A and B are shown apart, each in its own frame.
Chain A
Amino acid sequence: MLLGIDVGGTFTDAVIVGGGRVLAKAKAPTTQPRLLDGVLAALDAALAGCHPAGLKRVALSTTIVTNTVVEGKADRPRLLLMSGPGLAVTGLVPAEPYILSGYVDHRGREVVSPAAAQVEAVCSGFAADEVFAVAGKFAVRNPGPELKVAQWLERYARPAHVTMGAALSGSLNFVRRANSAYYNAAVWRQFGRFAAAVREALAGRGITAPVYILKADGGTMPLDAAGERPVETVFTGPAASVLGVQAVAAPAGEALSLDIGGTTTDIALWQDGRPLFAGRGARIEGYPTAVRSFWVKSVGVGGDSHVRREAGQLAVGPGRLGPAMAAGGPAPTVSDAVIAAGRAAFGDRSKAVEAMRQVAAPGKSPADTAEEVLAAAAAKICAAVRQMIEERAAEPVYRVEDIVSGVRPHPRTVVGVGGAAGALAPLVAAQLGLACDVPADATVANAIGAALARPTLEITLRADTAQGYYTVAELGLRAALDDRRLSLADAETLAARHLADRASQAGIAARDVETVFAEEFSLVRGFATTGKIISCRLQIKPGVCSGPDEEGA
């Protein structure tokens, strides 16, 4: 049995999955600021009647990182940057940075070395036990200077924690890595406390199964490993819902998924049965980071969205004034329209009808008005879907072949999950002229997604055969190449080996490794080929556990 818990904005869901079925599910209100109370309430309710020894795994999707930041409980890390020449970074990062000397160029050559004396001087003003973030431009091409600075910090500042940018992401984008490192260090302490409280609470219930935590990219990682990289667990709500769609509906080919919740609908696009990733990374407090995530667009339409007339025009969302009038709320909502239209039966139907009467156009019946409200809500979702398709089609590409062949998404099916999916998803599908699927268990799909999410890891290898070395940024590794005739296939083999090592250290099985990015350029100097630059990124494929043997993992 696998236990999955998803902490949402309004509710915390827990499910127990076994043998490919949902064995138990429970809902409890999300508790702010003590998230753990709600988690344990949902967990206890789901576990009633189950024996904890039967649990093989506990997976948790939380908003702890977001909460820590939003509530101002995050630390304010010291941000040390080696920005070298280029864009002035002040204002692009969340704190006033300490700019250190030291500079690596685009080929990974250390043009200027960082200076220990400078780090020592900077540290003289710091107390012990502070948290630090260090990032260097092109550190993914040469992690050495970041490592050196981190070592000097250990010596001169006696820090509680140091995050290095290149260890969090092997991708180019110095500003994003700096921001990732900053927020990782900022939430490190609070996340550690949360993880300890989770461990203690589970132990108190006799649960000894390993605990995993969901990441924004839809994979999980062991709670212990997450302690060093907590920033990756930011924004896992959309990830859980996308995985939930995969678990309960497994869309084939091109599809479109809608998670229609209380106040928002999260839209994702699917290709070849897999959700699309965001081109860059998530934003935290408006700052772009290198945290990989699914490409999910939120539109302010959900079951609790406030419905009213503004100058004769029907308006839906994005605000929420409370639950549906049928459920005792103060104002008309989309859910009232669902009930009044006879598409679902919960709460007090007469109050739902009254809600529709309040927003009816002159001469219109509550039933007609309910249909008008639902059509308006669906139209808002459709507009966001169309915009998403346009954005995808307009995404810059850098090869002639990609321009000529084009990549315009043509979804065939709409998959709806979440509380209001049953009523709204078919309307959206009808407006878009697509087939619609609202699977069973759609209302707890996100918790199922968390329960079944596979552990993942990624690794980025870049080899420069002309200079005779390769780097793996996530490992802080820069090593000599044994053979300068390295091919792309050789590089992928080498990367797979490092990925397997890294996985085993983190306690993850390295199965289903795939290459998600590969690039190979010949270097020509003076009309002769002098080497190659090869880059590849490999990952353990994210997704959901598919069979009973995997459930034991």
Chain B
Amino acid sequence: MEAKPFGLVFFPAFDWAISPTHPERQERLLYTRDQIVEEGLLDLPGIREYRPRLAAIADAERVHIGVPDIASLITDAHLVSAGGAITAAEAVLRGEVARAFALVRPPGHHAMRVVHGTRGFCTINIEAVMIEYLRRHHGIRRVAVVDTDVHHGDGTQDIFYHDPDTLFISFHQDGRTLYPGTGFTDEAGGPAAFGATLNLPLPPGTTDEGLHYVLDELILPVLEEFQPELVINSAGQDNHYSDPLAGMAITAQGYARLADKLKADIAVLEGGYSIEDALPYVNTGIILAMAGLDYSKVVEPDLPRVSRGMDAGMKGWLEKLVADQRDLWRQRERLGREAAARAGDFWQRRRNIYYDDSGISEQQRETLRLCPACNGFLTIASEAEGRDCGRKSVLAGVILKNSCPVCRRQAYDTVHKAKKLGAFQHYIIQDKDNDLYERI
């Protein structure tokens, strides 16, 4: 029997930019298109190209709470890139292709559950929209997301922070040295999903050898143990040595071997802004590796200037990181029980979230009801102020999967009570069990 082909959804959005000189501009995937077409990759019998579908607003509202609403915050381009991720995933689930890569823009991994605007070039989280679509329409439950972007995937982490069925692993340049400044080892998931978030902050300058050490020693064994139905790769490419926005030292070969070992069912492009010197080669490498083809000849023209080894300092950092996170992973159930015991009936966190592209500051209070009978519900109170949007606020109740009748009623009561007090502009119920998004 002939091996199944590999699916590619390529959508460079040649008519869309955040602004004319923004890194997310028309030119971003131009050289990648040139390389893919010039290599003849789309003619290979092992590669099948798909046209992306448009996602619906309802697909985004299954994940996000938009203020004032999702439709007014996004453009059609966002629905195409989210739709492209869904197209890629459905090609895999229909069995037409063995795996697929949604090489699409705009990206999504900095978009959190509540959306006031655009942050880190992201407005809606295209992987999360895809995952929740697959859960709704294809009966998928256990999913692992491995975020290989140089920036911490704080949006994806936020969305799945209380979901024990989604394992989120992110490696990234240490948050003390790079946007968004999060992704430390102590961010490990809410008490009901402790250990299902694993952060791996890497030292600036991490090389292929360093990265593959972490991959081999921690990420792959954890994935093996978690046994997900699907592995999703948030395939940012800005760990590349030439990326202008970060300071890592990964090569196209490093990324291609990563894709080869990870064997993600679906990869979705995230960041990567070395549009000429990295993206053409990294994308070609990832495509060939995912398609099971020879990627050994994919090398950057200026490769000789890059070190690929690991010095003692890097080795020490990575060995400690791997040891610490292995411990956390092994003890996650006990640590989760302890965190729940400390929290009592309600677990709460307060955060300030900045939307760098929109110039919006958000203050958020997130409260999780720790219910002995079910996954509970979330109450999110969010107020934001921005240069263009003025003041915006929302109070949302999020009824989590497999909720009990008591929690469902409490979630509705909480939102209705708040509305009577009238401190917020918008009141929303997002019901994961019934796939409902309701304005109160």
Q: How far is the CB of B323 from chain A (nearest CB, A)?
A: 37
Q: How far is the CB of A401 from chain B (nearest CB, A)?
A: 6
B90 close to chain A: CB less than 8 A = no
Residue contact B50 to A396, C-beta cutoff 8 Å: yes
Which residues on A sit within 8 Å (CB–CB) of B77? 400
Q: How far is the CB of A86 from chain B (nearest CB, A)?
A: 5
Known contacts A398-B10, A399-B15, A404-B76; A173 and B281 CB within 8 A of each other: no
Q: How far is the CB of A404 from chain B (nearest CB, A)?
A: 5
A314 close to chain B: CB less than 8 A = no
Which residues on A sit within 8 Å (CB–CB) of B75? 400
Which listed residue, B11, B34, B276, B298, touches A85 by the CB 8 Å rule? Answer: B298
Which residues on B sit within 8 Å (CB–CB) of A85? 281, 297-301
Residue contact B288 to A87, C-beta cutoff 8 Å: yes
Could you give, for residues 18-49 of chain B, a 1 whenever the CB lies within 8 Å of some chain A CB and a 0 otherwise? Answer: 00110001110011011101111111100001
| A to B contact number (C-beta, < 8 Å) | 113
A103 close to chain B: CB less than 8 A = yes
Which listed residue, A173, A398, A523, touches B12 by the CB 8 Å rule? Answer: A398
Could you give, for residues 185-210 of chain B, a 1 whenever the CB lies within 8 Å of some chain A CB and a 0 otherwise? Answer: 00000000000000000000000000
A292 close to chain B: CB less than 8 A = no
CA distance A159 to B54 in the complex (A): 54
Most buried by B among A87, A106, A138, A173: A87
Which listed residue, A172, A403, A522, touches B38 by the CB 8 Å rule? Answer: A172
Residue contact A87 to B11, C-beta cutoff 8 Å: no
Residue contact B25 to A524, C-beta cutoff 8 Å: yes
CA distance A349 to B26 in the complex (A): 66
CA distance A519 to B39 in the complex (A): 20
Which listed residue, A395, A400, A528, touches B13 by the CB 8 Å rule? Answer: A400
Which residues on B sit within 8 Å (CB–CB) of A172? 34, 37-38
Most buried by A among B14, B26, B80: B14
Residue contact A524 to B21, C-beta cutoff 8 Å: yes
Which residues on A sit within 8 Å (CB–CB) of B297? 85-88
Which residues on B sit within 8 Å (CB–CB) of A106? 31, 34-35, 38, 276, 280
B294 close to chain A: CB less than 8 A = yes
A176 close to chain B: CB less than 8 A = yes
Which residues on A sit within 8 Å (CB–CB) of B301? 85, 103, 105, 111
Which residues on A sit within 8 Å (CB–CB) of B15? 399-401
Which residues on B sit within 8 Å (CB–CB) of A175? 39-40, 43
Residue contact A288 to B25, C-beta cutoff 8 Å: no
Known contacts A111-B301, A396-B10; A173 and B43 CB within 8 A of each other: yes
Known contacts A85-B281, A288-B40; A397 and B51 CB within 8 A of each other: yes
CA distance A103 to B303 in the complex (A): 14
Which residues on A sit within 8 Å (CB–CB) of B54? 403-404
Residue contact A173 to B49, C-beta cutoff 8 Å: no
CA distance A527 to B22 in the complex (A): 7
Closest to B33 in A: A398
Closest to B81 in A: A400
B284 close to chain A: CB less than 8 A = yes
Which residues on B sit within 8 Å (CB–CB) of A280? 42-43
A494 close to chain B: CB less than 8 A = no
Which residues on B sit within 8 Å (CB–CB) of A334? none
B329 close to chain A: CB less than 8 A = no
Could you give, for residues 311-332 of chain B, a 1 whenever the CB lies within 8 Å of some chain A CB and a 0 otherwise? Answer: 0000000000000000000000
Closest to B303 in A: A85
Closest to A88 in B: B294
Q: How far is the CB of A269 from chain B (nearest CB, A)?
A: 17
Which residues on A sit within 8 Å (CB–CB) of B33? 398
Which residues on A sit within 8 Å (CB–CB) of B42? 280
Residue contact A521 to B39, C-beta cutoff 8 Å: no
Q: How far is the CB of B104 from chain A (nearest CB, A)?
A: 10
CA distance A223 to B361 in the complex (A): 71
Closest to A140 in B: B38
A215 close to chain B: CB less than 8 A = no
Which listed residue, B14, B284, B293, touches A398 by the CB 8 Å rule? Answer: B14
Residue contact B76 to A403, C-beta cutoff 8 Å: yes
Residue contact B20 to A107, C-beta cutoff 8 Å: no
Known: A173-B40, A400-B75, A522-B26. 11 other contacts (CB 8 A): A85-B300, A86-B39, A86-B297, A87-B41, A92-B40, A174-B38, A396-B11, A400-B15, A400-B76, A521-B14, A521-B26
Interface pairs (11), CB distance under 8 Å:
A87-B294, A106-B38, A106-B280, A107-B276, A174-B39, A176-B43, A280-B43, A398-B12, A399-B14, A522-B27, A533-B30
By a beta-carbon cutoff of 8 Å, the part of chain A in contact with chain B is 85-88, 92, 103, 105-107, 111, 137-138, 172-176, 280, 288, 394-401, 403-404, 519, 521-524, 527-529, 533
**Which 9 pairs of residues, A with B, have the shortest CB-CB distance?**
A175-B40, A399-B15, A172-B37, A106-B34, A172-B38, A396-B51, A111-B301, A87-B39, A85-B299
